[in-house]
Structure 1
Amino acid sequence: MPQFESFGLKGGVWRGHLNAPKGAPARVVLVQHGAVLAEARLTDEGDDSWLVEVDLPPEVLGEGIQTLLLKADSGASGDEATHPDGHVLDRLTLMAGRMLDDDLTAEIAALRAELELVKRELRRFAAGMAAG
């Protein structure tokens, strides 16, 4: 199974190192919501290792949270569909814009509510154990 180590995102290019003992995958693609956005460039570094570089298209940058997948599969170059035999190498989460503040505030409020529920149940459990 191929192993990917991300070097991060810089200048709109996501870079990383792919180690694939069985050889390079037919293609490595950037996927969002099941659609192929871009195909990565693989540079052979020897010893079953490749430098992976993929340009992020401008349309992925927008308000809120975007999740991108880097996926290796057996598809042909230029084929727009992802293949079921594919393997997700890594995920990249992008957060931007004013909506982000609202998203994070809502998420924090939900986490606080869940924490209060857990605390209440633990107290109820502890009181039951002390009484019993």
Structure 2
Amino acid sequence: MPQFESFGLKGGVWRGRLTDSKGAPARIVLVQHGEVLAEARMTETGASEWQVEVELPSQVMAEGIQTLLLKTDDGEHGTETTPGGHQLGRLTLMAGRMLDDDLTAEIAALRAELELVKRELRRLATRDTAV
């Protein structure tokens, strides 16, 4: 099974290392919402090892949270993904004003859960000391 080690995103290019004892896949694609956005470049760096680079297209730079998947694929260049590929990595991009609202809502939900846990711990502590 292929293994991908992500080196992160810099200058709009996602880089990493792919190792697979079975050999290089036909192609590696960047996918969002089931649509192929770009194809990665693979450069052999050793036995069963490749450097992978994929440029993020400008359309993924938008407000809110964007999730991109890097997948192996047996399809031809320029075609949609085929079933049976492996997901190598996931990249989440967050930007814009919507992010403030998303994070505020997430923090509020975490605070509510924390209050629930505190209340239950206090209830259990008072019940154990009363016995």
Give the structure-1-normalised TM-score. 0.91
**Alpha-carbon shift at residue 76 of structure 1 (Å):** 2.2
Give the match for residue 53 of structure 2: 53
Pair 1:78-2:78 in alignment: yes
Number of aligned residues:
131
Q: Residues 30 and 128 from structure 1, CA distance in 2 versus in 1: closer, same or farther, beyond 3 angstroms?
A: same
User: Do residues 99 (structure 1) and 98 (structure 2) align?
Assistant: yes
Unmatched 5+ stretches in structure 2: none
Instruction: Indicate the SS of the match to 1:101.
Output: helix
CA distance in 1 between counterparts of 2:55 and 2:68 reads: 12
Structure 1 residues 21, 111: closer, same or farther in 2, change over 3 A?
same
SS of match in other structure, 2:125: helix
TM-score normalized by structure 2?
0.92
The two structures, once aligned, show a CA RMSD in angstroms of 1.3
CA distance in 1, matches of 2:2, 2:130: 55
Give the whole-Å Cα distance in 1 for the aligned partners of 2:2 and 2:49.
Answer: 10
1:121 maps to which residue? 120
Residue by residue over 1:72-93, the C-alpha shift from the partner in whole angstroms, topping out at 9 and shown as x without a partner, is 122222212x233121111111
Residues 27-52 of structure 1 deviation map (CA, whole Å, 9 limit, x = unaligned): 11101112111111111112100010
Aligned partner of 1:37 in structure 2 is 37
The answer to whether 1:25 aligns with 2:25 is yes
Gap regions ≥5 residues in structure 1: none
Question: Offset of 1:130 from its aligned partner?
Answer: 3.1
Identity %: 75
2:117 is aligned with 1:111:
no
In the alignment, the residues of structure 2 paired with residue 49 and residue 55 of structure 1 have an alpha-carbon distance, to the nearest angstrom, of: 20
